[in-house]
Structure 1
Amino acid sequence: MKKYTFLVFTLLFIVSCVLGMKSGKFLNFSNKKIGFMAENSGVSFIRNKTGNTSTNNSWREALDAPDSSRFTRIILAQGFDEPLGMAILPNNDVLLAERKGSVKIYNRKTKQVKTISNFNVFSGIEDGLLGIAIDPNFSKNRWIYFYYALAGDLSVNRLSRFELLGDALVQNSEKVLLEIPTQRKYCCHSAGYISFDSNGLLYLSTGDNTNAEETEGYTPVDERPGRALADDQATAANTNDLRGKILRIKPLDNGTYAIPQGNLFPPGNPKARPEIYIMGSRNPYRFSIDRKNSYLYWGDVGPDTKVMGDEGELMSYDEINQARKPGFYGWPYFLGNNQAFPKYDFETKTLGPKKNPANPVNDSPNNTGERVLPPAQAAMIWYGKKSSKNFPLLGNGGASAMVGPVYYTDLFPNAPYKLPSYYNGKLFIYEWIRGWIMAVSLDKNGNYLSMEPFLEHLKFKAPVDMQFGNDGALYVLEYGTNWFSKNMDAKLVRIEYQEGNRNPVAEIQTDKQYGASPFSVQFSGNKSIDHDREDKLFYIWNIDNKEFKGAIVNYTFTKVGAHTVALTVTDNKGGRGMASTQVFAGNTPPDVQIETSSNRSFYWDNSLLDYNVLVKDKEESAINPERIKVTFGYLPRGKDVAVILTQNQDAGNFNYLKGQQLTATLDCKSCHSVDRASVGPTYLAISERYSGKQGALTYLADKIIQGGSGVWGERAMIPHPELPKSDAEEIVNYIFSLTDKSGGKRKLKDEIVLKDHIGKGIEGLYLLNATYTDQGANGIEPLQSRDYITLRNPFVQAEDFDEGNVRLGTITTDFLTYATSINHNSFIRFNSIDLRNVRQLKYRVRAQSGGVIEVHHGNKNGPLISSIKIPSRIAGSQAHWTEIIADLKETRGVQDLYFVFTDESGKKNLFDIDWIYFGNTTL
């Protein structure tokens, strides 16, 4: 019976699929979560990895999602200083614009980056060199367009055209198309992206350029006398102002421009600028134009408000917008799906009525344009700081919405790296702060259908621009971790897709990255992989414009400065992967050493740890003791030591490790750092202001959860409503520890009695950590080096070995794990053990057939330093755990320790081992 039921089910499924192809529907088996069509909706539901349900417009799409291993991520260049935009040339060289004014070019053949021009820009607030685009006829006219804040006393942002000859930007070829008056007194929002549509029309986004730091939790509509710079009705909602807009013009060959038909306002109206295509934007930072239908998509970076929206969420929305025609998109009156803000009176601190999105009126005294505005248009996608009910895939936390291109596979007919047809017609959106990329599916009319993560296995560091090159590859520009600074993780990345034979994934390893000139480095490509495992790999290196072959290359740099090293890995089927890294000649990392006469591996009750920190630096004749940081503490969770060492903690108290981890994993790092200026104050500055003050812990913990502004300026702090109060307090305590003079900072030479562990179990570790940061040399940044000592409990669990050929047994009722299946020549190894002052070993063993435990120093056949015979269990008796003591020869130096188990009779199962105790004879 079951057999026939299965056949009937299968037949029904086949019939439904055939009918579904014609009708667009499948049978409704929605309770199975296996991708069947919901009959009443006309769209399929696919359960994704995050547990959210996303929709797709066909069953076939769900089947054809491409394998992520077919995407190769290639780092073309890195270490930029605030890169904001790129322009991909027809030959796939890439022009890059940095905010402080530098224009650079990445040469795809030499794989090198060089500076080709420097603009003299005003780079205060968020201004600077903001936008770059190439002319649609670049191959013939060699024209490049830039949008930048002009340096000097004249507060204007300028759209200009220049000529690029070879790889040289001709500065005196500038043709000024448009200048936009701005204010430079208050922050924020400059936007400044430039792009062309398929008809040769140029689009330019402009921010509202309004005081965003004194909104009191509402919108900037301050109509009080003298407060015009804090009124967005004077810019974004003003038809006679070019700020808070997306403009559309037709550049002419003589360096001027014309107004194309179809903009929001026709020429000739003294109260409306004809350049405006979109108005009512706050900070339309990134946009794109669909190359087939000219639909405009943009991300509008939203505010931080305390106004509750229609769905019970604060109206701190970022938006993804679509415009099929010109229009008004609501700011500062509406946000999201046209949810309205109440009119806030800054004089009386009272709330007035909301405006009508169907008939918005701008009656601010600071408005110089039309009073009656076009109807407000709703966003396509909107999301706040909490997880969105409508778009749950977008996550939570800080936000800066960006928009990339719409992909069409037929626009790249012969491109080697074009995306699969699965992505045809999808819009790519991305997030500066959250770091994700989403592919948005649209129906045949351009309406939103669904979204899905794209390259979710990759992490992007503040993606700031995204474009397709003529080669079909997706180019991503990453701004990097810290705001307003040069970042080593600011990089240009190319994403290549490969059908058939998959590209190798190139990876570079170096034995050192910094050193004095001449500087000898070994480079290895042996960590490169190929997902087609049968392929043979070949390695080509480009170092100082010289070519080398082989997986490993040794090279000596004789010129001081930064050097880019590129590796190309090819396989025997034509696949290719690339990677690059930088090394720096001219500054040697300092040499930090901790000297001690104590044991460097173990602690015992009330034992003494003496130490002396010594520092040398090749480029510094005198060591500055103020730059030496010595910290010491007991970590109840010994495994936390890895977190401290990987995060380079050199100050603060180890007791606040959880708080440090939270600040690293939450979105705090998008606005703050320990000691480098960013959007928000440094943690050190916060600690200096609040540490030791009554009530500060509760006050700051509440502020982390609730958000707020007004202390470090009016820029709002992102709320974290889902963060437990205890975690917020952990963060605050960590911040306070940074300036706590007693918080673990110690003398350069001292003696410490080890007693903090007593009564706290055997899992903890002591960490003595010493770091020194030099002053930099020869243009190379300051470098930090460290030495450290970790001391663990002398009770070492046998199952914690670093290498061995035994098995592990368990007794779950006793919560016991032990080493078992020990035969002749079995062994376990523990790495880097110091036996100074250790004279005895105690074992907890359970005898089986019996044998010998030998201890060898350095390697498995190294010097024998201890031996003990484990007697066999008496036949018929029950095996019991027994403690046995063995003497140990005096041994110095840190070496690997091998416990080798022998029995010449060839018997099996010699004994079991639970733990090993290293006994100190000095106590």
Structure 2
Amino acid sequence: MLLGFLGISLSFCHRPLEIVEIPDEHRFRKVVLTEETMDPTALSVAYDGKVYFAEDIGTIKVYNPNSNSVSIVGQLKVFSCGEEGLIGMTLDPDFEINGWLYVNRTVSDFMDMPCGEVYKNPEIRFEDPTSNQLISRFTVINDTLDMSSEKVLLKAPNQHMRHIGGSLAFDGDGNLYISIGENTHPGFLNPYAPLDERPGRKNYDTQRTSANTMDYRGKILRIHPEDDGTYSIPSGNLFEKNDPLALPEIYVMGCRNPFRISVDKETNTLYWGEVGPDAYADIPRGPRGYDEINATTEGGFFGWPYFIANNLAYAKYDYDTEKAGKLFDTNRPENTSPNNTGKKILPPAKPALIWYPYAASEEYPELGEGGRTAMAGPVYHYNSNNNSILKFPSYFDKALFIYDWMRGWIKVVRIDENGKLIKIEDFMPSTRFISPIDMQFGPDGSLYVLEFGTTWGANPDARLIKIEYIQGNRPPHIEIAANKSVGTTPLTIHFKSEGTVAYDKDDNLKYEWKFNSKEVQSSERNPTFTFKDPGIYQVTLTVTDNEGATATADLQIKAGNDAPQLTIDMPSRGSFYWDKDKIPYRILLTDKEDGSLANGDIDPSKVQVSLEWMKGNYTLETSTNGMGTLKSQGEKLIGESDCRSCHKTSERAIGPSFLEVAKKYKDDLDATDYIAQKILSGGSGVWGDISMSAHPLFSKADTRRMADYILSLAKEKTNIKEMGVEGIIDISNTHGKEDITFVLKASYTDLGASGMEPITVSAIKMLQPPKLEAENFSTQRDALSEVGDNGVSMGFASTYISFKNIDLTAVDSITFGYSYKGPECFITIRTGSPDGEIIGKARFTNIPKSKNKLTIPIKETSGSQEIFFLHDKAPDIHEEIYLDWISFHKRE
């Protein structure tokens, strides 16, 4: 795949790429340096290994590797809301000498007003700019910011309109690059290029910023800071210094939201990630949305809002008639907007180096699919004179590192000496990074990364990490487990270290276990130990290979109080109920300290038992306590998507909480369809000005399930009934209500013992309708659920769907609802795994009807397990079988 850097001049002095084997992923170690941060935005590694990092609320902190501690360097007053705040920071190239630190921060006339009020006030946001992005220089003395030393280099207007950019970076000549976003409202449900030229709509027209040669916004500026706090204009910027219709600071224009940039100081190549619009379909008005990675060594116009990706053109658009006009010309872009105060004729547009949409990219499939926020990281330069044992190897010499905030990956990009893309490689592909927001190589050759955290908002999982490369012999990897972690004394526990490996020197590993002492108490690989006295113990395992490399892991044991044993007994009953069933149950409970329920030692009123009935199919998933958790298909889909990046269940993040949404629309009869469509198409305006990403990869049926789950959060729990420790579940007439799921829950908290805290245990039993919709599968391989609104399409040999925690005790036959027009094929039913025991096999033939039913017997089986429905056919048969539903019949 060789894609040219069209129109970009690059002068590299690189030697040919050395062909060497890619390093083993396990040679990289992800080390958490600190979690003492909230909303981190930017980092810069100093000459001595200290890491300075900024937080959105205006705090600048420093991590000291010598003391492994974090301290506050300074606190700046900023307007912090959404993308605004302290959003950029970098150190001067001569920081060791002058102590200069540069920041890009939002200041406003309304900094003391809650940001929600500012965002709702049209007089503030839609009139003349009331805030600015300040590019300032401060002096750091003994890791303290000298507040009196501020020198304001540059001010860019800001109307609280999102897309702020904010990154800062120096090149090898001491020039400072400043990225500033378009600061334009994309328009409600209007995810294409915002070109609204109508009176009173200028803030919906990005031609006033990105395509305006007299505006700093939608640009990457390049200036040369001077010692006295002013700046000069370096030669080679996009426009002449004395041009009356262009700002001389402009280096790159035509940007939407260049959120994170980097500059390779050896070649002075500028790289930046461009966060694109949310449109998910090509229409006459213009192409779908793409994120971009861009690169240049000279000034240029990079397209927005007239072009995107590899110069795909938008059309002139009439907002009154909603008609698309003529496509813009890449060779002669023309800005005729009445909101333009600069040149009308712009330089020819330059294409992106890499571009990718929500869907899987045809050009770059290795970038994945889903939500996207492209960012450009550093170029690595291998230094053989660097004595650090943690530096990255020469394999990555002159490679560009890019990353995606939403998708959580880091990729390695190879570019040849002519600026052509050679390939994109995975970096630590089995590792998901938690919303990486900035990264830089340090003087030790390690990669430092700021992880912003799960959602756009205050995150407890935000942190500064370091990725080290382990040369030579690597420490062992340890797995430690125990057959139990709590119990009454004397407590005998069997420990295991299965899975412990030494990547390089795996002979004669030495095991050292410490159970309740500072001294080594066992050298066995899988020892047994008895804790005689009550208490909380930290068990430590240290493993050493035959070259002396060590690793340590620990496990907590609580001795003195055993966990109660709680189960729900439904004799001869599996996972399903049938019409007018009367299902007996009883709660079985024993506790070593408290006694048993059956013997009368435990008061039945201390056991909480409830029966809940809910609409829809649910999945029972094993939880950490082994008791299981119940999830609707909608909740499961949300958990597997990028929705959690912007929304939490009950707390506000960058977007509203799911509970807020549910309360707002709980009385709206059309709410399910409305929310489902918003999930598909994205949009903004209902909950403020923050744009929510589109999710075009979901089917309409899936988004309806997600909407149903969200709306369920505000519904009153009128479908719960308190139950006794034994009784009968009376299933009423379920005709026409095949999608009702019954859930029996029980929980008990013991009294504690031997000074140890009480332990709560729970059990859950789900009774499903005897008809499962095929698209509600738990797992799948090559099955497609986008065909229509229901069902799955199975087109390949060995395609399967599965359902977890299914007990077929009371089932003797299964019926498939399907359609199929092809040669003979089979669906084999297996338990446990795709290669597990066969309990039934269905033979399908070409029947001309579009909807068919087929009933087959199954082998008697019992116990909760995963059930697989595997498509068996000859590999050269390409016809698809379409499964609509699967029903289960009660054994007579």
- Report the TM-score, using the length of structure 1 for normalisation: 0.65
The answer to whether the aligner puts 1:737 opposite 2:712 as a matched pair is yes
Return the offset for 1:173. 2.1
**CA separation in 1, counterparts of 2:625 and 2:612?**
13
Distance change >3 Å, CA 179–CA 305, structure 1 → 2: same
Does 2:474 match 1:502? Answer: yes
Alpha-carbon distance, 1:130 to partner: 0.7
Q: Distance in 1 between matches of 2:276 and 2:686?
A: 21
Note closer, same or farther for the CA distance 1:348–1:729 as it changes in structure 2 (3 Å cut).
Answer: closer
Paired with 2:245 and 2:609, the residues of 1 have a C-alpha distance of 63
Counterpart-to-counterpart distance in 1, 2:82 and 2:286 = 30
Q: Secondary structure at the match of 2:391?
A: coil
- Cα-to-partner distance string for 1:26-73 (whole Å, 9 max, x where unaligned): xxxxxxxxxxxx9xx999xxxxxxxxxxxxx99974x61211111111
SS at structure 2 position matched to 1:285: coil
Match of 2:136 among 156, 160, 170: 160
What is the alpha-carbon distance in structure 1 between the residues aligned to residue 619 and residue 442 of structure 2?
A: 45
Q: Tell me the amino acid that sits aligned with residue 335 of structure 2.
A: N
Q: Deviations over 1:231-283 (max 9, x none)?
A: 21111111111111111111111222111111112322232111111111010
Instruction: Select which of 369, 383, 394 maps to 2:367.
Output: 394
Cα distance in structure 1, aligned partners of 2:442 and 2:554? 20
Alpha-carbon distance in structure 2 between the residues aligned to 1:629 and 1:677: 33
The partner residue of 2:215 within 230, 237, 241 is 241
Alignment CA distance shift 1:89-1:369 (3 Å): same
Query: Is the 8 Å Cα contact of residues 442 and 449 (structure 1) preserved in structure 2?
Result: yes
Query: Per the alignment, do residues 181 and 313 of structure 1 end up closer, same or farther by CA in structure 2, a change over 3 Å counting?
Result: closer
Q: Which structure 2 residues correspond to residues 79-228 of structure 1 after superposition, within 5 A? A: 80-153=37-110, 155-184=131-160, 186=161, 188-214=162-188, 216-228=190-202
Say if 1:631 and 1:746, in contact at 8 Å, map to a contact too: yes
Distance 1:226 1:113 in 2: 49
User: Contact conserved, 2:571 with 2:584, CA < 8 A, in 1?
Assistant: no
Amino acid at match of 1:406: V
- Bigger mean CA deviation after superposition, 526-535 or 402-411: 526-535
> Number of paired residues?
685
Greater alpha carbon shift after TM alignment, 638-647 vs 113-122:
638-647
1:471 corresponds to which residue? 444
Q: Specify whether residues 398 and 770 from structure 1 end up closer, same or farther in structure 2 by C-alpha distance, changes over 3 A only.
A: farther
Structure 1's 68 and 748: CA in aligned 2 closer, same or farther, altered over 3 A?
same
The answer to whether the aligner puts 1:663 opposite 2:638 as a matched pair is yes
Question: Is the CA contact 1:397–1:718 (under 8 Å) kept in the aligned structure 2?
Answer: no
Q: Which of the residues 728, 745, 754 maps onto 1:768?
A: 745
**2:269 aligned partner:** 295
For residues 192 and 529 of structure 1, the distance between their equivalents in structure 2, rounded to whole angstroms, comes to 44
1:494 is paired with a residue whose SS is strand
Instruction: Say whether the 8 Å CA contact 1:84–1:99 is kept in structure 2.
Output: yes
Using the TM superposition, give the Cα deviation of residue 206 of structure 1 relative to its aligned residue in structure 2, in angstroms: 0.7
**Deviation larger for 628-637 or 136-145:** 628-637
1:642 corresponding residue in structure 2:
622
Number of the residue aligned with 1:886: none
Runs (5+) with no aligned partner, structure 1? 1-37, 44-56, 512-523, 542-547, 553-565, 584-590, 613-627, 773-784, 803-807, 820-828, 831-923
Give % identity: 36
The residue that corresponds to 1:694 in the other structure is 669
Aligned AA (1:493): I
* C-alpha displacement of 1:415: 3.1
Q: Aligned pair 1:491/2:471, yes or no?
A: no
How far did residue 182 of structure 1 move? 1.6
Cα distance in 1 for partners of 2:230, 2:553 equals 43
Q: Secondary structure at the match of 2:103?
A: strand
SS at match of 2:239: coil
Tell me the distance in 1 between the aligned counterparts of 2:722 and 2:69. 46
Change (3 A) 1:507 1:390: same
- What's the counterpart of residue 625 of structure 1? none
Q: Deviations over 1:761-790 (max 9, x none)?
A: 9xx995527799xxxxxxxxxxxx975223
Alignment of 1:741-760 (within 5 A): 741-742=716-717, 753-755=728-730
What is the CA-CA distance between 1:326 and the residue it aligns to? 0.5
CA distance in 2, matches of 1:238, 1:537: 68
- Residue 791 of structure 1 and its aligned partner are, at CA, apart by 4.4
Once the two structures are superposed, what CA deviation does each residue of 1:303-361 show, in whole Å capped at 9, x if it has no partner? 12366179x99420111111121111111111111111112233443323222111112
Q: Is the 8 A contact 2:184 2:205 kept in 1?
A: yes
Asked if the contact 2:218–2:255 (Cα under 8 Å) also holds between the matched residues in 1, the reply is yes
Q: How does 1:274-293 map to 2 (within 5 A)?
A: 274-293=248-267
Structure 1 distance, partners of 2:440, 2:448, is 5
Mapped to 2, the partners of 1:372 and 1:786 lie a distance apart of 72
Q: Larger % of helix: which?
A: 1
SS, match of residue 733 in structure 1: helix
| TM alignment of 1:619-630, pairs within 5 A | none
State which of 290, 299, 318 in structure 2 corresponds to 1:326.
299
Taking the aligned partners of 1:426 and 1:573, their CA distance within structure 2 comes to 33
Distance of aligned partners of 1:197 and 1:578 in 2 relative to their CA distance in 1, 3 Å threshold: farther
AA matched with 1:203 = Y
| 1:723 has 2:680 as partner | no
Instruction: String of CA shifts for 1:660-691, please: whole Å, max 9, x gaps.
Output: 11100012222222122133332222322334
In structure 2, what is the Cα distance between the partners aligned to 1:629 and 1:212?
A: 51
Deviation at 1:137, TM superposition (A): 1.0
Looking at structure 1, the residues matched to 713 and 311 of structure 2 have their Cα atoms a distance apart, in angstroms, of 45
SS at match of 2:260: strand
Which shows bigger deviation, 356-365 or 733-742?
A: 733-742
* Secondary structure of the structure 2 residue equivalent to 1:410: coil
Cα distance, 1:192 vs. partner? 0.8
The secondary structure found in structure 2 opposite 1:288 is strand
Residue type of the alignment partner of 1:418: K
Match status 1:381 vs 2:354: yes
TM-score scaled by length of structure 2:
0.67
Q: How far did residue 412 of structure 1 move?
A: 6.5
Q: Does the aligned pair in 1 maintain the 2:133–2:155 contact within 8 Å?
A: yes
CA offset digits 1:880-923 (Å, max 9, x no partner)? xxxxxxxxxxxxxxxxxxxxxxxxxxxxxxxxxxxxxxxxxxxx
Shift of 1:131: 1.0
Contact 2:568 2:763 in 1 (8 A): no
Name the CA distance, whole Å, in 2 between partners of 1:580 and 1:240.
61
Q: 1:142 to 1:706 in 2, by over 3 A?
A: closer
| Aligned residue identity for 2:745 | L
Cα distance in 1 for residues equivalent to 2:79 and 2:351: 35
The SS at the match of 2:622 is helix
SS of 1:640 mapped into structure 2 = strand
Q: How far is 1:484 from its partner?
A: 1.9
Cα distance change, pair 646–491 in 1 and its aligned pair in 2 (3 A) = farther
Gaps of 5+ in 2: 5-14, 111-129, 484-495, 523-539, 574-581, 590-607, 750-758, 767-806, 812-829, 842-856, 865-892
Task: Name 2:762's counterpart in structure 1.
Answer: 788
2:203 aligned partner, one-letter code: L
Q: Which amino acid aligns with 1:87?
A: S
Amino acid at match of 2:102: Y
Aligned match of 1:560:
none
- Matched with 1:64 is 21
CA distance in 2, matches of 1:130, 1:89: 19
Letter in 1 for 2:204: A
Shift of 1:431: 0.6
Q: Which amino acid letter does the alignment assign opposite residue 460 of structure 2?
A: N
- Look up the match of 2:815: none
Matches within 5 A, 1:834-845: none
Residues 733/123 of structure 1: CA separation in 2 closer, same or farther (3 Å cut): same
